[in-house]
Structure 1
Amino acid sequence: MSNTLNNIVAGVARGFRDAVLGTFKVYKLDMAIQADIATKSVEPMTTLARRRSEKMKHKKIEKDSEPLLRHRILQCCLLNGGLFWTSILIFNGLILPCLQWLTEIIFGGSADNAVWGWIGLALSMTFNTLWILPLFVLSKIVNCFWFQDIADAAYNKSRGHPQIPSISMFIADMSFSLLLQGLFLIQGMLVNFLPIPGIGQLVGHFHMCVLYSLYAFEYKWFNMGWEVHKRLSHIENIWPYFFGFGLPLAILTALPSSLIVSGCVFSILFPLIIISANEAEEPTESFDFPLKLFAPVVAISNAIFHHSITKRSMVSPSSRTTPVKRTRIAEHDRS
């Protein structure tokens, strides 16, 4: 029992260490990327290639002069922290108090609380609807592209070219993964309602740590060609490490009381966690006992996908193709 407890503590500590120390490797990766760019610029070129290079020099100089990783991380900080988070702080900490003070001066007396209650509610709803919600959606879309750029740049430099799947495999993998992550997030929220005091919150926090680790490592594992079930099995087999890896981000995102602010904190710090996951060397040996954390959501996801595929095959005209035609289609897809 004591040996198992020691292994858990050691795994959690190793994951926590890799998550924190890996963030300091941004500068090293950027220097390596810049060195590659400089090397390519002095390689011998043909006359045609030289002409093309001169033509595109002015367009590429700005892009090549800025380190990709730090540039993308800075963009994430400016969008999510400089624009999004700062606008919330200014509205709630400066604009609303000033308007409340003006309302008290204008109306005064005992009616000021009632009047400000309606005005403050209307202003907050308007601000959230016309600014916070659109900017939140926009930032999530933009962050997806920036996170992918950071992950691809770090992977290309430290691990080589990724294994690029076919379009159909990419769509199927992404769809299944998003569905599974959404269901696992719901599972983590539901366990907070366990009737045992303190246990529900602890298990829910454990789910968030593992989910954040899955978010971060999925970029690397996808580039390595790992399928979804292999990624989940890897996490379940060495869960103490991934619990410790996701623990710093889970703690920092749990500190704000607002979900919007928590999302800003996540978007600012997550690029660094992606790099930590790319540079980490997780344990290869399975833990004493694996935790089948994803078994319920995998079963639900498989059932949903099986039901949707079955329903589509019943209504799609392609389901009425002959066996010979199906074989030719399959051979064409493999080629």
Structure 2
Amino acid sequence: MSRPYASQGYGPRATEGYSSRATYPTFLTPHNTAFQQLKAAGRGLFDAFRWDAVIRLVSSDAEVRSNVFKSLLLNIVSLSSVYFFDLLLQPLTHEHTHWLRRNVGWFYQILWLLPVVGISLYLNSTWCSHLARRTYTLQHGSRAAVEPPATYLGILNSIATSAYRVVMVFTSVVVSFALRYIPYAGPTLGFVFLCWVDAYYCFEFIWIARGYSLSRRMRHLEERWAYYFAFGLPSTALCMWGSTLANAAIFALIFPAYIIMAMHARPAPIDPYNPTGGDPPKHPSPFIPIRIPVFTPVIWLNDMIVRVISLIGHVGGPRPSSATPSHRRKPSVDSVESAEEGSIPLEPIAPSPPSTGTRIRVSRGTRPGNRRKLD
């Protein structure tokens, strides 16, 4: 009688079954999961049009206003130079047979356009850093941002972070151009990828101020892919209609405004694994991905570049001695990962072995507490 009694749901085994069922995770339906992602995308699109926050902050703070106006004037000069070449100079010299008139466009690009755009992008990055720091301080206080230590290692870490960031910008551009060559879906995939890339660079300042590592920044974006796609959509759409230099100048022109918007944004969902915030939690449907590995090809290219640079450095540097262990001679995966994080690993200094000229003699019959005699 005990077995039928337990099988009908009245015995101790049935009680254990109910407790296991209570701890089993519950999932949202695919329809509800898609609705949560659409809500996050709508929130991202709303945050990308917060021009009221930009105007309010620029009009209320003199330092923010100064950085925005300097960036605005310089990028207007570079954008005017680009359109002067694209719309006026290049059509006038296109059909000329004379060598000088035919190549005046190249001289204009090399002697004026490329230096102006390059200086504009460099100064714009510096001013945007000051703008982001000031905006973050106004929102969260003067001691909220995580400042790098003013030490030798801190300087090296800053240099490594900046160098890796430059490489990441380059590889992102390479990946976006490569995606465009995919048949049929290439242009759409390149546009979607650039939406995520633009959103990443708009939020990068606030993530760095909060002390996020590179892996945590990318995981944060990839787990909220719908929100960040919608946030990067307007800026990417504005920078897709002109030449490459014109698109870069337009992005540099609107970049300060989107940094301010990112500072006032509230990425959604707060917990991607419990988007409704309920208790007990309800996980998203397995049929809709929680995380999309957007930056996997970028990180792969970055790792390859870092490994090549490490190999070149080892080839060009002094050869290791025969006493050096083999695992110390080649670049390790840990060094590549630390370069991703913007840190320089310091190898521990092994203690030197005792000199062969010094001998240690222990007298026979001595107890452990006795002292050792040195020759």
Structure 2 partner of 1:272:
257
Cα 1:84–1:301 shift into 2, 3 Å: closer
8 Å Cα contact 1:26/1:69 also seen in 2: no
1:26 counterpart residue number: 54
The 1:326–1:136 alpha-carbon spacing in structure 2 relative to 1, beyond 3 Å, is closer
1:194 match: secondary structure: coil
Q: Which moved more, 1:231-240 or 1:11-20?
A: 11-20
Q: Distance in 1 between matches of 2:201 and 2:54?
A: 19
Matched, 1:255 2:238: no
Q: Residue type matched to 1:68 in 2? A: E
Partner Cα separation in structure 2 for residue 133 and residue 274 of structure 1: 25
Match of 1:85 among 79, 83, 86: 79
- Corresponding letter in the other structure for 2:70: Q
Of the candidates 271, 279, 285, which is equivalent to residue 271 of structure 2?
Answer: 285
Distance 1:84 1:326, change over 3 A: closer
Determine if contact 2:89/2:105 at 8 Å carries over to the other structure. Answer: no
Runs (5+) with no aligned partner, structure 1:
34-66, 101-112, 330-335
CA distance in 1, matches of 2:320, 2:211: 29
CA–CA separation in structure 1 for the residues paired with 2:301 and 2:134: 34
Contact kept, 8 Å, 2:146 with 2:210, in 1: the verdict is yes
Q: 2:123 aligns with which of 142, 145, 167?
A: 142
Q: Which moved more, 1:206-215 or 1:136-145?
A: 136-145
Measured on the aligned residues, the alpha-carbon RMSD in Å equals: 3.1
Q: Which has the higher relative contact order, 1 or 2, with Cα contacts under 8 A spaced 6 or more apart?
A: 1
Name the CA distance, whole Å, in 1 between partners of 2:347 and 2:252.
45
TM superposition score normalised by structure 1: 0.72
Distance in 1, Cα, partners of 2:180 & 2:84: 33
1:267 aligned partner, one-letter code: A
What residue number does 2:300 align with?
Answer: 299
Distance 1:240 1:217 in 2: 15
Aligned residue identity for 1:298 = I
Paired residues for 1:221-236 under 5 Å:
221-236=207-222
| Pair 240,86 (structure 1): closer, same or farther in 2 beyond 3 Å | same
What residue identity is the alignment partner of 2:56? K
Q: Which residue of 2 aligns with 1:242?
A: 228
Give 1:245 shift. 0.6
CA contact (8 A) 1:238 1:285 kept: no
Deviation at 1:89, TM superposition (A): 4.0
Instruction: Name the TM-score, length of structure 2 as normaliser.
Output: 0.65
Aligned length: 277
| Bigger CA radius of gyration | 2
Structure 2 gap segments, 5+ residues each: 1-29, 149-153, 274-283, 329-345, 351-375
Deviates more, 1:269-278 or 1:166-175: 166-175
